[in-house]
Amino acid sequence: MGKISIGLRGWRFDEDAVFTEDGEFRPMDDIPADQRKRLVRLQALVASPCDGCWLIHGDEDIHKCNESEVVYGEPLGEVVLCADHEPDFLYWFGEAGGSQYKGQQELQDEFHEWFADGGRAPEGYGGVEHVETDPDDIPEPPEPDMEDLNVDIPEEERERIDLRNMEVESGDGGQSADEDDESLDDDLDLGRDYPS
């Protein structure tokens, strides 16, 4: 098994550490602590607005913000971005000195400061090409025990997110899946093998 992203691109998980051979999420206690912390944090981030859009529009016009598609950085110091602003982060990280904050909580604050000061990627700066697999294949995650994980999620972000409706990326040459805005069929077979 390989590395995958769940819900948002960026954070990579060892597939066999997160899923059983039957394609179901492992019990939270069986998932390594670092990956467990990221998986729990993803539940708060998956429907959050893009940091770049939020810095432009603010809380007053948060409805103008795009939903995030990618996450970079460490939990609780991460940067979440839409496809339009991902190249800005990649440029900042790779070309404008942002890599010095790799693995540090300051990454979020430093990117926000650069972006708020007008920092942007040059016109035509390329992003990262991602390979996506069928998001309908994601099984229902187990309920996390927040006390054991010591993850502080703000009250307004505490909601159950259905990860089956989010994108999944495979680093093993998975094929692109057609995006489907329709809801899952009632007769969806969650017992099929993951990945397909």
Helix, strand, or coil here: 85? coil
Give Cβ neighbours of residue 26 (< 8 Å, ≥ 6 apart).
17, 18, 19, 20, 142
Confidence of residue 2 (pLDDT cuts 50, 70, 90): confident
pLDDT score of 43: 87
Does 114 or 144 have the greater pLDDT score? Answer: 114
Neighbours of 19 (CB within 10 A): 21
* Residue-wise pLDDT tens digits, 83-119: 999 999 999 999 999 999 999 999 999 999 999 999 9
Model confidence over 27-58: pLDDT tens digits? 988 999 999 999 989 988 988 999 999 999 99
User: 176 pLDDT exceeds 50?
Assistant: no
Mean pLDDT across the chain, nearest whole number?
77
- Angle (deg, nearest 10), helices 86-95 and 106-116: 110
- pTM exceeds 0.75: no
